Amino acid sequence: MRQHHSRARCPPLCVAGILACGFLLGCWGPWHFQQSCLQTLEPETVSSYTSPGAPLKGHPPLSGSQRQRQRQRRAAGGILHLELLVAAGPDVFQAHQEDTERYVLTNLNIGAELLRDPSLGAQFRVHLVKMVILTEPEGAPNITANLTSSLLSVCGWSQTINPKDDMDPGHADLVLYITRFDLELPDGNRQVRGVTQLGGACSPTWSCLITEDTGFDLGVTIAHEIGHSFGLEHDGAPGSGCGPSGHVMASDGAAPRAGLAWSPCSRRQLLSLLRSGQSLSLGPSPEPTPGGGRGLRTPVPTHKRPRLQKSPLPRSILRPASSRS
């Protein structure tokens, strides 16, 4: 995925109805520099399990009436809501141990803040339905050098933990799987940091994505892959009028000269998708809607062949604090 930079502030991320002051954009640089940006979160929906038959431990989900009141409170004109289920693979847990929860939430807040950025043309609010931390490889998705089979494995696995009923309190619009496996293209090129199906957010079969844990640029990767799931293309397409560098949906992984934002192409594309309703349809709140459920609607035709979107390695993401402008 892409680039870096931004303003240091602390917007809330809605975690199961609990507003928790999250971590912030601007936490780029060496670990000692990032430490000053970090705070401890106590989310209510973190779960972990060690085998496929073990129950998911953690706090029970909100009841239907509680969820309905939560939706009403967070509904606001012009704001689009995305409900997310996040799973950290066993390799991520092995790397971060007891810090896994905090580390993942940090990057989620970075991605969530990018989706709130005015440059996108529509403000998204990311709601974390549940976080699952896999502590053992047994029962986890099979991530390999084959991107297609890896995505198929994650999508299939996600359907075992994400309730199909759109009105179920535990249902999420998208399932994000984080791995430390070094993703690669069929030609052996490992300059890739994420994969999803273009427009997959609207498909019950393909509403999943994989991101590689590469540090605090993971948050940018998350925003980039969610953009693909909504139907956004890479910047730099012929005739688009946008270059391949410098924005969230950049295709070359080059770092921007200024603060990270969405390109005019991404903005036009998203607004066009929202107007047409052909690929992406988001309600103003996660409340029930006739014939469609809440949140993301309008499924992608099942006969269409999956179109995988691969995202390149970001360059110059982390720089020493002393060299920053």
Q: Binding site for Zn(2+), residues? A: 224, 228, 234
The SS3 call for residue 293 is coil
Our answer to whether residue 225 is catalytic in this structure is yes
Q: In whole angstroms, how far apart are CA 317 and each of 78, 99, 190, 254, 267?
A: 32, 22, 17, 9, 23
Find where tokens 């509904």 sit: 75
Which helix (H) or strand (E) element contains residue 84? strand 79-88
Binding-site residue numbers are 224, 228, 234
**The residue type at 279:** S
The set of residues, in sequence order, having a beta carbon less than 8 Å from that of 132 and lying 6+ positions away, is 47, 48, 49, 56, 85, 86, 87, 88, 161
- Are 42 and 20 a contacting pair, CB within 8 Å? yes
Residues facing residue 20 across a β-bridge: 13
DSSP state of 97: G
Question: Residue 184 is encoded by which pair of tokens?
Answer: 């690669």
Q: Which of 44, 225, 233, 287 is catalytic?
A: 225
- Rounded Cα distance, 155 and 196, in Å: 10
What is the set of active-site residues?
Answer: 225
